[in-house]
Chains A and B, each alone.
Chain A
Amino acid sequence: MVYSEECDFIFRLKGILEFACQLDNPNGAQSKCTISKSFQDLRSKVSSKNTVFTVCNSPVLIWPNTGFQSSVESLTEASACGDILQCIDSDDGGSKKSSKKKDKKKSGPTVVNMKLLFEVTEPAGNEAPSLIRVSTQQHCVKMPLPLDCALSVTTDERLATVCKGLVEALNKQLADMEEVVLQYRKGSSFLVPQPFHFQLPEPSGLITVVYPAGVPDSQLQAVREDLHRKFELPCDRPYLRRANAFHFPDAAYKDGYLRNPHIHLNPPNIEDAKLYLVQGVYSYHHYMQDHVDDNGWGCAYRSLQTICSWFQQQGYVETAVPTHKQIQQALVDVGDKEPRFVGSRQWIGSIEVQAVLNQLLGVTSKIMFVSQGSELATKGRELANHFQTEGTPVMIGGGVLAHTILGVAWSENSGQIRFLILDPHYTGGEDLQTVTDKGWCGWKGPEFWDQNAYYNLCLPQRPKTI
């Protein structure tokens, strides 16, 4: 997760806009025009004077299409967008304590959430209502469009400009949604168009793509290929699968697992060493999670879960992280273990990890064998290469323990090395402070390994796919 250095704010506007139209003949040629006309009406609606943005957790209402009016006197056309923070009630009572600032620098830009509303008062005329009855057979189509626009801006950008930008983004999104709706429509069956945000490498930045609901990623390959070409993205790794969607800094992860605890650590102080770290996002899996008491035997399983979570969150697979039983069953299925293995507390090693990754995720892995723990200190180049090209977490098993290696700090000149270790033996709760302070995720030296035991490392390889 790399944020553009200049971007201080992300303004995110969400709202549901109901799409409705009446089709006399859903399969007729006229129906396309009717649908397009309805989308045109929606575009006019968001550009009208009745469009209002409200800033969540604040009394601010903004009319972006009437030369910028706001309900709060302090916010005018000339206001910088940073001024909006003064109006928002944040959860910690608004006062920014200095101790919180230390973490703030790592958490990226501030997200300002806004909601799309429409004013129904202040009408143009005052004609009393009438009732219009139409009595022709028709198909009535109603669909809620989940609009979601995001703009990355700097602090000194004017609020009025940001709002104009959001209105333009709404228009563009409606046009994209129209395209998707028409493309995937079959007669009177319509798929809801859903927007996804992706943080692409500079200069593209934050973009939004509309995908049809219910169509799996596997069937959208051609769409992604076009987009990879358009944004000049490498063709061998996924950027635009739904799982790759940008995770807004203010959103909590619903499953409760910690993500990338390593980013909160300070790198080791070795002269001349470069950092070679895992790329992307993984979840920290460890003992006692999910109400499974695997204390003493489950460490390799947990490391395997961490690796599976990586493949899921980078968009390579859609399957959920496997449970201990599912892992064991996979080994039975490939003939590696007897059926009574399932439900047992037997340990597994790197070879089994490789087998399960292949069976459940279709992922191949390289095995690296080290006859003595002391030799690991010499594997700097291999590990550095792995993190540079594949960037996947590495499972290491040996002695009586299994761990996950998330990266190395290695100096080519001096050969000095440190290993970034994620320890699955942690039995506590998902508390970032404890995990980092107590070294459950931390930098270790070569003495960390049992110098006499032999080790096997499983290095998962990224499938070449988008």
Chain B
Amino acid sequence: MGRSYFVDEAVEEYLSGLQAAPGSCVTGLLAGQSSPQRDFVVLAVQTPHRESEGQPKASKGVGPLDDIDVEWVTEHAKQVSRMLPGGLSVLGLFLLTPPELSKDAQNALKRLIFAMEKYIIKGRLWELSEEDVTDRVTLHICSKTKKLVCKTFDVKDPKSSAKPADWKYQTGISSSWPMLTCSVEVDLQIPVTGSSSDNTDKCMKDGLRRWAKQIEAAYCLVNGRQALDDSELISGQKKNPKTTNRQTLPTRIFVSDEQVELDERSTALVQVCSGSMRVRGVVHCRAYIHNNKPKVRHAAQAIKRDLINTVCSRVEMFLEDLLINEGSQKGLCSEQQALPRRVFAPMSISGLSVCDYMFPDESTADVAERLKEMLDCETPEEDIDTSLESIFSAISGSEITDSHDDDSSKHVISEIQAENPIIQKAPQYYAGVAIAAAVALLATVTSLLYFN
């Protein structure tokens, strides 16, 4: 008795349209939602071309299967995970091979699936519960016969063997999946001990972990219902498969400051810090839940995990970016910088949203490019919704230092902030000026040549 995967017809179309150079393989991801009874696949994306392909690595194996860039496949999986809203995740991999490689395909898939899972969960701040499905699907496609072999591996058990699974195509799998939304105010004060950038990262991680625990324990109202017991999310409504309307369910989240390890103290916890970091602003969260009698608590869990993921992803991306641009932490002046903000775009056929993160100096064109590269889908720029989170505006100097009793740092902050907006506009501004100047120069030269 294996798992059953209900797969959207759009995925069937995508998979049958895959082109592989003769003798070579195509890898890709399968994404969707797992529930204890059944699984749903709504997206398939082939692994994008790796740009540094100019010098192919010396073939270490005997064939194309060994040449699969495991690192790149897992990196792609991680990037795609960041782009999926709550409730959706990477469920597995597909591998298209020529007939002669079919018998080794299973081993390759097993290696890939475990490597992928290991990489994706790194840095994840919420724990799996007993109800979470740990089976991941592997789909092997023969490029000649188009035959599909679908198996699952339990990624909790490294020694697990492949179990057979059903792969069934259906239309409009996710068309009436309800969408949960909420906007959440985040205000985390994280003390930083020590001065190296490693320390900063660790402190940030610890601070985020504490906050994530608070969110996991938080009370949640989904569409006015609490996730108290086994109650169903949408009860009293006849399931009408013809309904194409997607319900939007507003969600509200309530936290308490209770932290078990702090409870029995009789004194305050005092740390000498070299500084602090504050993450402050509003994030927009979204999650989808299947409509096969979903329970309120699963829906609540999906949106909470989306909340934790979105804050973590942005901080991770920001710190990665900082490391590239600045080298090591400057750490000498105080400043406020915008974290990448979340934008949403609809996936072409299923109508589910995917998301991306825009740095302050980026535009929707950059987002569209990333969506094409990572999710292999064309999105018109006007469909990209940037309205859900607005650009931060520098808050006044006094607000940043509100917990300080040292006045001297105030003026430094306001100076830096005054500089920031200008710096952010610079690349686009100067680019425009440069182009205009070039055009003018060209025109002048041309006219000189012609009229002389």
A140 CA to B206 CA, complexed, in Å? 15
Can you list 13 A-B contacts (CB < 8 A)? A24-B406, A33-B405, A34-B405, A37-B403, A128-B339, A129-B392, A131-B339, A138-B275, A140-B271, A142-B262, A143-B267, A144-B259, A189-B270
The yes or no answer to A188 lying at the interface (CB within 8 A) is yes
Residues of A within 8 A of B390 (CB): 125-128
A106 CA to B101 CA, complexed, in Å? 81
Residues of A within 8 A of B (CB): 15-25, 28, 30-31, 33-34, 37-38, 52, 54, 59, 61, 71, 115-144, 146, 188-192, 213-214
B255 pairs with A120, CB closer than 8 A: yes
User: Which of A16, A54, A139, A191 interacts with B263 by CB under 8 Å?
Assistant: A16
A133 pairs with B253, CB closer than 8 A: no
Residues of A within 8 A of B254 (CB): 52, 54, 61, 117-120
Within B125-168, the residues touching A (CB, 8 Å) are none
A61 CA to B339 CA, complexed, in Å? 33
Residues of A within 8 A of B221 (CB): 61, 71
User: Which of B228, B271, B281, B334 interacts with A133 by CB under 8 Å?
Assistant: B334
A20 pairs with B252, CB closer than 8 A: no
User: Which of B224, B267, B331, B332 interacts with A214 by CB under 8 Å?
Assistant: B267
Residues of B within 8 A of A146 (CB): 263
A127-B391 contact, Cβ under 8 Å, with A120-B254, A122-B183, A139-B270: yes
A24 CA to B406 CA, complexed, in Å? 7
B409 pairs with A143, CB closer than 8 A: no
Within B217-258, the residues touching A (CB, 8 Å) are 218-219, 221, 224-226, 228, 251-258
The yes or no answer to B274 lying at the interface (CB within 8 A) is yes
A16-B405 contact, Cβ under 8 Å, with A71-B226, A126-B390, A139-B270: no
Interface centre among B268, B311, B334, B393 (most CB of A within 10 A): B268
A214 CA to B266 CA, complexed, in Å? 6
A309 CA to B4 CA, complexed, in Å? 64
A-contacting 9-mer, from B83-91, B184-192, B433-441: B184-192
A129 pairs with B311, CB closer than 8 A: yes
Known: A61-B221, A139-B272, A144-B259. 20 other contacts (CB 8 A): A20-B403, A38-B403, A59-B225, A117-B219, A117-B255, A121-B183, A128-B390, A132-B277, A133-B278, A133-B337, A134-B276, A136-B409, A137-B272, A138-B275, A139-B273, A140-B276, A141-B270, A142-B270, A189-B268, A213-B267
Residues of A within 8 A of B267 (CB): 143, 189-192, 213-214
B314 pairs with A129, CB closer than 8 A: yes
Residues of A within 8 A of B263 (CB): 16, 144, 146
Residues of A within 8 A of B272 (CB): 137-140
B252 pairs with A192, CB closer than 8 A: no
The yes or no answer to B15 lying at the interface (CB within 8 A) is no
Residues of A within 8 A of B400 (CB): 132, 134
| In the complex, per-residue mask of B278-296: 1 if CB is within 8 Å of any chain A CB, else 0 | 1111111000000000000
